[in-house]
Amino acid sequence: MDDRQDFIKRINELTEIALDQENVIFEEQLFSIFPEVKDDKSKFEVIREYLTSKKIGLNDKLPMDELLTKEEKNYLDLYLEELNDKEALTKGQREAHMLSAMAGDEAAQAIIMEDTLKNVVEIAKLYVGQGVLLEDLIGEGNLSLVNAVMAIGACENAAEAESVLASAIMDAMQDLIASDNDESGAEEKLLKRVNKVSKAAAELAEALGRKVTIEELMEESGMTRSYIEAALKLTANAIEDIEIPDELK
């Protein structure tokens, strides 16, 4: 494998790990895949710039201004301008309307939905930079909000209802990201990871004539510990050619 192919292979692995971590990569993972950049500032900056171009943060998510496109910023400004024209409920007012909404009062349900729209925006900001446009995240969140408000009648109190609404919005956005990031679907993406680790472990185990350790697999395949351990977790440690360390049992 030439240097260019090796670089592409490693940078793709780094990007794949970041996608599983909400578009964040940690220095330990970076140095595991690119050990040569640890003591080479210029090479480190090249990798950092590449990550930034892909909306991937190092050790933490990138600032919102760097994650949003110009079009997304314009959309957000206009959308918030519309929402800011509506006066937010006080804590007491919201709780009162929430209790009425739980009892089936349609007017109260409409008020709660309208008052929660800003919350949808704030939640959507948490998922920016993961392959889905902000407008789509907000749209999906708003749709889930409508359905969730209709289902809060089973809640015992206003606090539980608030939790149900927030969870529904977040779940909807996460599902949208999972389906959009991989055309073949989230399940196939996870299966691909498991197959990759299983195949590499089987080949190395055959060469050694025994089960392999995670460290040996890391050294031979170039995969990171977190990548391998995630595959083990997905299979409940059922990759038979890997020796499972005590801390993972």
DSSP state of 85: T
Residues 141 and 199 in one domain: no
The DSSP bridge partners found for residue 212 are 242
> So what's the pLDDT on residue 185?
52
Residues 130 and 90 in one domain: yes
pTM: 0.60
Look up residue 3 and give its two tokens: 């240097």
> So what's the pLDDT on residue 2?
63
What range does the domain containing 138 cover? 65-181
Residues 51 and 87 in one domain: no
In single-letter form, the type of residue at position 219 comes to E
> So what's the pLDDT on residue 181?
61
Q: How far is CA 111 from CA 2, 125, 142, 200, in A?
A: 62, 23, 14, 56
Residues 175 and 120 in one domain: yes
d(CA 48, CA 58): 7
> So what's the pLDDT on residue 204?
93
Angle at 56 between CA 55 and CA 59, to 5 degrees: 145
Q: How far is CA 103 from CA 116, 142, 145, in A?
A: 18, 21, 17
> So what's the pLDDT on residue 231?
84
Residues 56 and 148 in one domain: no
Residues 19 and 114 in one domain: no
DSSP state of 186: H
Residues 76 and 137 in one domain: yes
Q: Which mean pLDDT values do the consecutive 10-residue runs of the chain (249 residues) have?
A: 74 82 87 90 87 85 82 89 90 96 96 95 88 88 93 94 94 84 56 83 93 88 73 86 88
> So what's the pLDDT on residue 228?
85
Nearest to 55 by CA among 22, 101, 7, 79: 22
d(CA 108, CA 2): 65
